[in-house]
Structure 1
Amino acid sequence: MLGPGKADLLEHIRETGSIAAAGRAMAMSYKRAWSLVEEMNHAFRAPLVDSSRGGAKGGGAHLTETGEEVLANYRALEETIAEAGADRIETLRGLLRDAPESPPDIPEGK
């Protein structure tokens, strides 16, 4: 229903006001970004993203109230997990050949 890549996509939509621009910011095609938005909109009781077609009057996209709530709760959950799992994360890093300072960002779907 929601993971790091979809949460990032929601943030980019909030920042840019556009599904296409959010996709470009994540090196993702418009088709893929739109597909992910549709998945999220159908997974929740209310849509997370509201969009209008482009053209002469513009168009764009924005997070709905539900979208803002879902994103805020997801980010809070990430913080909780990071705090609770800090010791295990450090243990796993210690088992790596070359332990990075911070984990690399891996876009969803790649």
Structure 2
Amino acid sequence: MTDRTDTARLKLRPQILSGDEIAMGPGKAALLDAIAETGSISAAGRRLGMSYRRTWLLVDAMNRCWAEPLVAAVTGGVKGGGARVTPFGAAVRADYAAWAARLAEAGAGTEPLLARLRAEPLAPGSH
């Protein structure tokens, strides 16, 4: 018997780890996109609703995890500098996007499996 409602769903979260550190995931990919669009770590953070400190920590983690930096500082200029996604970072972002799309496709067709789920799990010890 099936109790399933629209609360049953498949959750695939494409993450790449370097040791225990998340080197790339949906949030870091969005951050790279925002940095590429704004040319600024702080503006990217504001766009994504993150503090500058949180944004900087994510950029630092990405730069430490990959063979080359994904984000580089830009010094000088009228506005005092900024940041840019490096060519290596753009390549990582493109490869990640392609992989995440393939993963999403792999999750298609799960309706028969999800139809067997309860809308909510039973309380412990109630079965």
TM-score in terms of structure 2 length? 0.67
Aligned length: 98
Aligned to 1:51: 73
Residues in 2 aligned to 1:17 and 1:36: alpha-carbon distance in whole angstroms: 16
| Aligned mate of 1:76, from 89, 95, 98 | 98
Q: Which residue of 1 aligns with 2:20?
A: none
Computing the radius of gyration over CA atoms, which structure comes out larger, 1 or 2? Answer: 2
What letter corresponds to residue 29 of structure 1 in structure 2? S
Alignment of 1:1-110 (within 5 A): 1-52=23-74, 58-88=80-110, 91-92=113-114
Structure 1 residues 23, 90: closer, same or farther in 2, change over 3 A? Answer: farther
Q: CA RMSD in A?
A: 2.5
Higher relative contact order structure (alpha carbons within 8 Å, sequence separation ≥ 6): 2
Q: What displacement does 1:88 show? A: 2.3
Q: For the structure 1 residues 22 and 95, does the alpha-carbon distance in structure 2 shift closer, same or farther, using more than 3 Å as the test?
A: farther
Distance 2:63 2:115 in 1: 36
The TM-score normalised by the length of structure 1 is 0.77
Between Structure 1 and Structure 2, the one with more strand by share is 2
- Alpha-carbon distance, 1:56 to partner: 5.7
- AA aligned to 1:7 is A
Name the structure with the higher helix share.
1
2:96 & 2:35 partners in 1: Cα distance? 16
